[in-house]
Amino acid sequence: MLELILDSLPYPVVFVDTGHVIRYLNRAARYHYYCERGYDDLVGKSLFACHGEQSRQKIEQMVEKLKDHAGEMLVKVNARNQRLYLNPVRDEKGQLVGYFERFEMNLQL
């Protein structure tokens, strides 16, 4: 049921563990990375297989902040005018077990 809920979201969601290994992509993320960007199966591979060095440094710095109990952080606004966020996923003790990238449209009212 949870996978169906995540697949119903209109924007990509990518879950990554604390070792920066991709563990899950929802339907929109699979379309974005596989169809639009031409990557093969990314699940089980490093997040940095689809990010450049500048992005790697920024993500690693942000994850260090997440380890210090930071909440959702804005990464950037991309060329499609989507906001990209990094969100922590914590266990019942509050320890970081991973994070997810979430995109959303930057709607102009």
- pLDDT at 103 (0 to 100): 82
Give the domain ranges of the chain.
2-105
Q: Give tens-digit pLDDT for 66-77.
A: 999 999 999 998
Cα→Cα distances 38→32, 44, 52, 95, Å: 9, 17, 15, 34
CATH number for region 2-105: 3.30.450.20
Nearest in space to 29 (alpha carbons), one of 43, 49, 46, 45? 43
Give pTM, 2 decimals. Answer: 0.85
Cα→Cα distances 76→81, 84, 91, Å: 9, 5, 26
Alpha-carbon distance of 19 to 75, in angstroms, equals 19
- pLDDT at 88 (0 to 100): 97
Residues of the chain with pLDDT under 50: 109
